Structure 1
Amino acid sequence: MKIYIIRVIIPLGIVIGSVVLGFGTYYILKLGGL
């Protein structure tokens, strides 16, 4: 059960992390543009 949870959480964390990184980059570029 723990292994299954880890297998789900790690890819989910990678996806969420990449989305957050994408939004962060977008906001930095948006603020930098202003």
Structure 2
Amino acid sequence: MKKIEAIIRPERMHEVKDALEEQGIHGLNIISVT
């Protein structure tokens, strides 16, 4: 298991999620930081 931490702009979240799913990564924890 590997842990990846990233800061992603909200408008790009769907693109990133789709790209991760294509690589076989299906579990995400998303935290909104203000």
TM value normalised by structure 2: 0.39
More helix by share: 1
Larger radius of gyration: 1
TM value normalised by structure 1: 0.39
Larger RCO (CA within 8 A; separation ≥ 6): 2
